[in-house]
Structure 1
C-alpha cells in the first residue's frame, strides 16, 4: 500500500490532482491510500512519519510566491528518505534542468498545461511505477519495521548494522548505500528480525554482511570499511552466527 502526498497551494490545482488520483485508484483498484494534500510545506514534512519505497510525493515548485520552494522541499525529502518517489507538477518547466543540481532524483516533471488525458496518464504512470518499485523491494526479501511513528522497509541484504542515535528514542540504520535515522529502540530492532544479531548494547549487525572480525579490538567489519563494536559477552555468539 503506497502513501501519496500532494504539496500544492492553489485550490483548483489541488482538486485537479486529487480527483485524478482518486479516479485512478477507483478505476484500476490501485493499492494506494487516499492522498494527503498540503499547501504548507512545513505541515507536510511534519505529517510524513514513514519512509521507504512506498512513499510518493507530487510537489509544486512554486509555493506561495517562492519560485524554488518545491525544490527545497524535495531536497529535504530526499535527505530523509532516499527511497521515496518524487514527482514535480508545475507550470515552471524552465526549472527542469535545475532539479539535477538539487540531486533529488525526480521521477517525472508534469506540466500543468497538459490536457486532462495526458495529465492523468502521467499521474497514473508515477503511481504504477511506485507500486512496481514496492513490489520489487518486497521480492528482495525485505526487512520491515513498523510502529505508530515509523515505517521502514529495505532489502535485508542491504543492511549492514543498526546503532543507537545521539537523538533520544532513535536508531541509525547503515546500509550498503545509505544511512537513515528513525524512531525506534535497539531492543525493538532486535525483536523485529531473528536474522539480525545484537553484538553490543549499542549495535545490531546483519551477520550476512560481516566480512571480517578484528579479534583484538573486537570490531565487526563491513565491505565499505565501516565497523561496529562487539561486546565480550556477545563475541562467541556472533562467531556462531557467522559459521552458520
Structure 2
C-alpha cells in the first residue's frame, strides 16, 4: 500500500485537500492510504523518520514556518530518496524553485484551478502507484546518508556488504570493486536498508543477493566479489537456510 502525506499550513485548505485525496482513493479503490495530514512540516518529518518507506507527498509551498515546502521536500529526500513529491500552491510563479532545490517533483498543482485539481490529484496517485508497484529490479532502491553537510546517495543493489572500519566511528561500504569509508555507524545504517540485507555479525552486514557461498564449518560467507565476511556461530545455519542452501 502506498502511504500518502499531506502538509498545508491553512487548516481549511488542509482538510479540503485531505477530503479530495481520500475520496479519490476510495472511489477509485486505489491501493493507497493517507498516513499523515498536518499543518506542521516538523510533524511530517517526525512521522517520516519512524516510517521510512517510499511514499507520495502533497506539499504546500508557503508553510509559514522557518522552512517552506521546497526546504521540506529537500529534508524528505534525506529519508525517502525514491518518494513522489507534488507541490500544491497558489504561487504558480514559484514552480521553477523545485528545480533549484533539486527535489525531483512529480507535479505542481495550482490551487486556484478548482476544475482541474481533482483530476490532477488522481493522475498523481495513479502514476505514483504505477512506479511504486514496479519490480525492485526496475526501480533501484537507494539510501541517502547525511555526512558533514553532504548528502551521499547509494543504490542498494550496488552494495555488497558494510562493515566496521579499523578506524573508530567509521564504516566501510563495499561494492564490486573496492570500498568507500565514511564516518557512520552500523547501528544507524542498518535502519536504512531493506530486506535484502542481513546482519551476519556484530561487525558486518551483507547483501543477500550477492552471496556466493556460506562456509558453515568456518562461519564465513563469501560474496560474489570475493569479499569474505564473518558470520556469528549462532546464526550461520539460519543464514544458509535463509539462502536455501544445503546444510551438510
Instruction: Kindly indicate whether residue 35 of structure 2 is the aligned counterpart of residue 60 of structure 1.
Output: no
Over 3 Å counting, the alpha-carbon distance change for 1:45 and 1:92 in structure 2 is same
Instruction: Kindly indicate whether residue 52 of structure 2 is the aligned counterpart of residue 51 of structure 1.
Output: yes
Over 3 Å counting, the alpha-carbon distance change for 1:41 and 1:156 in structure 2 is closer
Q: Report the TM-score, using the length of structure 2 for normalisation.
A: 0.63
SS in 1 for 2:5: strand
Matches within 5 A, 1:1-244: 1-48=1-48, 49-53=50-54, 55-64=55-64, 69-116=68-115, 118-137=116-135, 157=157, 159-162=159-162, 200-206=201-207, 208-209=209-210, 230-231=229-230
Say if 1:161 and 1:174, in contact at 8 Å, map to a contact too: yes
Q: Report the TM-score, using the length of structure 1 for normalisation.
A: 0.64
Say if 2:204 and 2:230, in contact at 8 Å, map to a contact too: no
Aligned Cα RMSD in Å?
A: 4.6
For 2:217, the equivalent position in structure 1 comes to: none
Residue by residue over 1:19-43, the C-alpha shift from the partner in whole angstroms, topping out at 9 and shown as x without a partner, is 1111111211111123521111111
Over 3 Å counting, the alpha-carbon distance change for 1:209 and 1:126 in structure 2 is same
- Note the residue ranges of structure 1 that are not aligned, 5 or more in a row: 144-154, 165-170, 212-217
Q: Which moved more, 1:134-143 or 1:103-112?
A: 134-143
- More relative contact order, 1 or 2 (CA 8 Å, 6+ apart): 1
Q: Give me the whole-angstrom Cα distance separating, in 2, the residues matched to 1:196 and 1:37.
A: 32
For 2:151, the equivalent position in structure 1 comes to: none
Over 3 Å counting, the alpha-carbon distance change for 1:200 and 1:127 in structure 2 is same
Deviation at 1:65, TM superposition (A): 6.6
Over 3 Å counting, the alpha-carbon distance change for 1:97 and 1:135 in structure 2 is same
Over 3 Å counting, the alpha-carbon distance change for 1:119 and 1:40 in structure 2 is same
Q: Give me the whole-angstrom Cα distance separating, in 1, the residues matched to 2:3 and 2:136.
A: 16
Say if 2:5 and 2:34, in contact at 8 Å, map to a contact too: no
Q: Give me the whole-angstrom Cα distance separating, in 2, the residues matched to 1:58 and 1:175.
A: 35
Q: Give me the whole-angstrom Cα distance separating, in 2, the residues matched to 1:31 and 1:182.
A: 34
Q: Give me the whole-angstrom Cα distance separating, in 2, the residues matched to 1:125 and 1:19.
A: 16
Q: Give me the whole-angstrom Cα distance separating, in 2, the residues matched to 1:8 and 1:197.
A: 39
Over 3 Å counting, the alpha-carbon distance change for 1:232 and 1:87 in structure 2 is closer
Over 3 Å counting, the alpha-carbon distance change for 1:156 and 1:42 in structure 2 is closer
Runs of 4+ with >6 A deviation: 171-176, 179-186, 220-223
Q: How many residues align?
A: 204
Deviation at 1:51, TM superposition (A): 2.3
Q: Give me the whole-angstrom Cα distance separating, in 2, the residues matched to 1:181 and 1:127.
A: 36
